[in-house]
Amino acid sequence: MVTSSTRGGSADARRRRERAVSGARRELILEAAREAFADKGLAGASLREIARRAGYTPGALYSYFDSKEAIYGALLGESLERLNGAVGAAIEGAVAPRERLHRAADAFYVFYRDHPRELDLGFYLFNGVRPMGLTPELNATLNARLRDALAPVEVALVDLGRPPAQAVAATTALFAQMVGLLVLGHTGRIRLFGQQPDALLADYLDALASP
């Protein structure tokens, strides 16, 4: 005998299956887009190319994204969420501001050091270092999440006695330092100087945390 509760349970199970299938297809599209952007850049990667790599027709992509820029924004947004998760996990339980500073900066740096494609994505290197194609609203949202990942550094600097304006400036300088070291490390240019980027960052953080 089929009851209303049985029918309701079946409908719930069907919706869960549909959501799971939809989520899997979305992830397949995103991974295909990541590969296409890496190979051809945002300007050169068409929706047709992304669809081909994902095994779908171009029209099927519109059920999930209305443009390749929206796909790019989704990829970058997910990357920044993972970055924030890594920083948050690193500083959990850290009380002393010096320790929080080191942990937060190290987590930020290591995330991009160990995932070079995230660095390309996060700093628009697929496009020549500019947010081509993103709407101002989406770009502002993504930039805010990047700032969120750096916020623990700024807070730690304030707790170490830096005035807020100086803490912002120092956080900006640290950000530039980390990005520079990451680019030099990933391209191998750091070998020109016979230096190790990890050691250079450690020295920079020690100096930054000093009174």
CB atoms within 10 A of CB 36: 25
Token pair in block for residue 44: 């050169």
pTM strictly above 0.85: no
Token pair in block for residue 143: 């930039």
- Please, is 82 exposed, middle or buried when counting C-beta atoms within 10 Å of its C-beta (0-12, 13-18, 19+)? middle
pLDDT averaged over the chain? 86
Measured distance CA(26)–CA(38) in Å, rounded? 18
- pLDDT at 169 (0 to 100): 98
- pLDDT at 62 (0 to 100): 87
- pLDDT at 92 (0 to 100): 96
Under the banding of pLDDT at 50, 70 and 90, the label for residue 126 is very low
Is the model's pLDDT at 21 over the cut of 70?
no
Average pLDDT over residues 6-17: 67
Measured distance CA(71)–CA(53) in Å, rounded? 14
Please list the residue range(s) of the chain that carry CATH number 1.10.10.60: 1-66
Between 1 and 117, residue with greater pLDDT: 117
How does pLDDT run across 57-98, given as a tens digit for each residue?
Answer: 888 888 888 888 888 889 989 999 999 999 999 999 999 999
- pLDDT at 129 (0 to 100): 38
* Burial readout 120-147 (b: 16 or more C-beta within 10 A, e: otherwise): bbbbbbbbeeebebbeeebeeebeeebe
- pLDDT at 70 (0 to 100): 86
Q: What fold characterizes domain 1-66?
A: Arc Repressor Mutant, subunit A (1.10.10)
- Please, is 91 exposed, middle or buried when counting C-beta atoms within 10 Å of its C-beta (0-12, 13-18, 19+)? buried
Between 133 and 37, residue with greater pLDDT: 37
Q: What fold characterizes domain 68-211?
A: Tetracycline Repressor; domain 2 (1.10.357)
Is the model's pLDDT at 151 over the cut of 70?
yes
Is residue 97 within 8 A of residue 160, CB to CB? The reply is yes
Please list the residue range(s) of the chain that carry CATH number 1.10.357.10: 68-211
Is the model's pLDDT at 157 over the cut of 70?
yes
- pLDDT at 1 (0 to 100): 55
Is the model's pLDDT at 125 over the cut of 60?
no
- pLDDT at 149 (0 to 100): 96
Kindly list the distances between the CA atom of residue 205 and the CA atoms of 156, 158, 201, in Å, as whole numbers in the listed order: 12, 15, 6
How does pLDDT run across 166-211, given as a tens digit for each residue?
Answer: 999 999 999 999 999 999 999 999 999 999 999 999 999 999 998 7
